[in-house]
């Protein structure tokens, strides 16, 4: 290898490392918040009931995605006008400051309503900053790569979601062990957020070493820089139709697959299957670590056979896997619970019209109807139940199979007393309070999570290269960033909150999967019909 080749190789390694460091930081932040959602709901939303607090925390998690498309437009416009390097350097600095700030926020108990407002402000700033992060990283690497290795090089960026997840859960696990659970619940949860300052410093230091993208330098020299990339992207149909295709035929599927296969799995194992959080974190870290290299494998494969067939395969397998895989996950995690649900199913019997919509994150409604109090008690315990409404007005009753019947028609129904009574009835019917570690099939759980990550890797590995190849260089930053952040942010980021709301409304713990199933299937059909193959396209 010549000296010139060695120099180019070292430069490419720096480009990939500096770019992936920022997106890994992004993954660390978002999985940190998601993994600590239960604790954060108690710290920042303790003024509302447990079910509303958890939904509100998930919405706060998701609200960071609301401003990401705005950030994509603002940073994208600047990146298409003055260059790639400066923009995604500023974006990562803003995002890092907001992440560290979460670890310093006062709680609801300390400052009242100001606590969730400050948390919301941090999430909004994070989302805005991250709107310029992914697009800049992908474009920067893609514009340094030859088309023969573009899928391979950009796929390293796609691994950072897995790296962020592993880092976040590993840090939480270590801090939990060092502080003890009581201290972690009290103040230890702040440490993982504060530690992100070291990721921020390292990422900024690396990016300061970078030069401008050669593709941008070329279009700048040739006078091809867009005067108004936002107008060109959204008001010219030839560009807008590609943005819509990228969103509805690709990225929205990536978003729901990513959050269903990793974040929702954690929620499902902890809240529904009653597996210890430490055990869940360990299982997910092991599963993702085993399958993380597949992002690069699928990216490299797309350089050989094309982006489209690899991504379509990931979507298709995920569509087929959603319901059977989560059903198998339940049996592997807590077989005693599954047996109890089959032998003594829980049901609420009430008159039609006597039950309200179970969604009130702002705590503006008072749920005093017997049916509503019972449903919220069951949701708080993560219990799977059937709601059976009769046309004829009658007494409301909660049944735990043939073991217990709880009369809900009381002069003054007390939610706390009902929950205690319900816990006793569930225990008598064989519902375990927690999963039995000796009965958990760890190998099967790891296998199911690995299956999800394989599907995610198949669509994500080639995705960065495909998105860069879809758009012309003069508007690439703006046009690429917007559909990515709407798809991953709005469709994916709201997936946990939407799924949990569906579960709270129906009582069926599997019903939340209908949202990612429908979104993924829709994207698959659109991609099959309209998504072009792009692997040989030039980026200039």
CATH of 3-334+438-530, one of 3.40.50.720, 1.10.10.10, 2.30.30.790, 1.20.1250.20: 1.20.1250.20
- Decide the pairing of beta strands 397-400 and 346-351: antiparallel
pLDDT of amino acid 410: 65
pLDDT of amino acid 54: 66
Tokens 């994208």, located at residue: 76
Torsion sign over Cα 383, 385, 389, 390? negative
The burial class, CB within 10 Å (0-12 / 13-18 / 19+), for 159 is buried
Angle (deg, nearest 10), helices 160-179 and 277-291: 150
Task: State the DSSP H helix or E strand holding residue 349, giving kind and residue range, or none if neither.
Answer: strand 346-351
Of 482, 520, 517, the residue nearest 247 (C-alpha):
482
Structure tokens at 321: 């896997």
Which residue blocks in 247-385 are alpha helix, DSSP H?
A: 252-258, 264-267, 277-291, 294-305, 307-333, 335-343, 370-381
Structure tokens at 413: 């129904």
CA distance 180 to 175: 8
**3-state helix vs strand vs coil in the chain, percent to 5:** 75, 5, 25
CATH fold label, 338-428: Glutaredoxin (3.40.30)
Percent of the chain with pLDDT over 90: 29
The CA-based dihedral angle spanning residues 51, 52, 54, 57, taken in that order and rounded to the nearest 10 degrees: 180
* Radius of gyration of the chain from its Cα atoms, rounded to whole angstroms: 24
- Helix, strand or coil, per DSSP, at residue 401: coil
* Residue 391 in this model has a pLDDT that exceeds 80: no
Mean pLDDT computed over every residue of the chain? 85
pLDDT digits (tens, 9 = 90+) for 339-374: 999 999 988 888 777 777 666 554 556 666 778 778
Strand order in the sheet with 385-390: 385-390, 346-351, 397-400, 404-407
pLDDT of amino acid 433: 87
Structure tokens at 71: 């950030």
CA distance 437 to 115: 37
Non-local (6+) Cβ contacts of 243 within 8 A are 233, 234, 479, 482, 483
pLDDT digits (tens, 9 = 90+) for 86-141: 787 788 888 888 888 988 998 888 888 888 888 888 888 888 888 888 888 888 88
- Helix, strand or coil, per DSSP, at residue 14: helix
Who has greater pLDDT, 236 or 365?
A: 236
Tokens 């120099």, located at residue: 7
pLDDT of amino acid 165: 76
* Residue 518 in this model has a pLDDT that exceeds 90: yes
Contact at 8 Å (CB) between 452 and 265? yes
Q: Where are the domains of the chain?
A: 3-334+438-530, 338-428
* Residue 412 in this model has a pLDDT that exceeds 60: no
- pLDDT tier at 2 (50, 70, 90 boundaries)? low
* Residue 302 in this model has a pLDDT that exceeds 80: yes
Secondary structure letter of residue 393 according to DSSP: -
Mean pLDDT, to the nearest integer, of 453-457?
A: 93
pLDDT of amino acid 459: 95
């Amino acid at each position: 290898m010549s000296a010139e080749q060695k120099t180019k190789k070292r430069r490419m390694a720096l480009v990939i490392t500096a770019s992936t460091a920022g997106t890994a930081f992004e993954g660390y932040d978002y999985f940190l918040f998601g993994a600590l959602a239960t604790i954060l709901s108690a710290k920042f939303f303790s003024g509302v009931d447990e079910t509303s607090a958890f939904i509100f925390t998930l919405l706060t998690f998701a609200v960071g995605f609301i401003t990401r498309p705005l950030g994509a437009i603002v940073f994208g416009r600047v990146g298409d006008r003055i260059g790639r390097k400066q923009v995604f350097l500023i974006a990562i600095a803003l995002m890092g400051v907001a992440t560290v700030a979460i670890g310093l926020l006062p709680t609801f108990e300390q400052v009242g309503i100001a606590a969730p407002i400050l948390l919301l402000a941090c999430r909004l700033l994070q989302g805005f900053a991250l709107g310029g992060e992914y697009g800049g990283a992908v474009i920067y690497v893609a514009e340094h790569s030859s088309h023969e290795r573009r899928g391979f090089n950009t796929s390293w960026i796609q691994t950072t979601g897995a790296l962020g997840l592993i880092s976040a859960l590993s840090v939480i696990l270590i801090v939990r062990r060092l502080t003890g659970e009581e201290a972690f619940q009290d103040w230890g949860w702040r440490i993982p957020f504060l530690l992100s300052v070291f990721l921020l410093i390292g990422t900024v230091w690396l990016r300061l070493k970078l030069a401008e993208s050669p593709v941008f330098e070329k279009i700048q020299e040739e006078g091809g820089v867009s005067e108004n990339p936002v107008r060109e992207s959204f008001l010219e149909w030839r560009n807008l139709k590609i943005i819509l295709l990228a969103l509805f035929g690709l990225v929205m599927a990536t978003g729901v697959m990513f959050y269903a296969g990793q974040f929702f799995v954690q929620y499902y194992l902890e809240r529904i299957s009653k597996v210890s959080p430490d055990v869940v974190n360990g299982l997910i870290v092991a599963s993702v670590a085993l399958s993380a290299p597949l992002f690069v494998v699928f990216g490299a494969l797309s350089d050989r056979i094309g982006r489209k067939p690899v991504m379509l395969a990931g979507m298709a397998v995920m569509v087929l896997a959603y319901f059977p895989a989560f059903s198998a996950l339940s049996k592997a995690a807590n077989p005693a619970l599954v047996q109890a649900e089959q032998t003594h199913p829980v049901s609420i019997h009430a008159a039609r019209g006597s039950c309200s919509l179970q969604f009130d994150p702002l705590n503006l409604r008072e749920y005093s109807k017997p049916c509503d109090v019972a449903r919220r008690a069951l949701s708080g315990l993560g219990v799977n139940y059937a709601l059976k409404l009769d046309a004829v007005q009658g007494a409301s009753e909660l049944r735990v199979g043939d073991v217990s019947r709880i009369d809900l028609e009381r002069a003054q129904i007390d939610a706390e007393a009902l929950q205690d009574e319900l816990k006793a009835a569930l225990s008598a019917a064989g519902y375990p309070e927690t999963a039995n570690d000796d009965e958990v099939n760890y190998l099967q759980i790891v296998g199911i999570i690995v299956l999800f990550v394989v599907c995610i890797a198949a669509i994500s590995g080639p995705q960065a290269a495909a998105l860069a190849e879809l758009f012309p260089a003069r508007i690439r930053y703006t046009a690429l960033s917007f559909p990515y952040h709407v798809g991953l942010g709005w469709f994916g980021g709201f997936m946990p909150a939407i799924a949990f709301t569906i579960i709270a409304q129906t009582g069926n713990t599997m019903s939340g999967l209908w949202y990612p199933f429908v979104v993924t299937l829709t994207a698959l059909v659109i991609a099959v019909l309209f998504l072009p193959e792009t692997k040989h396209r030039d980026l200039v």
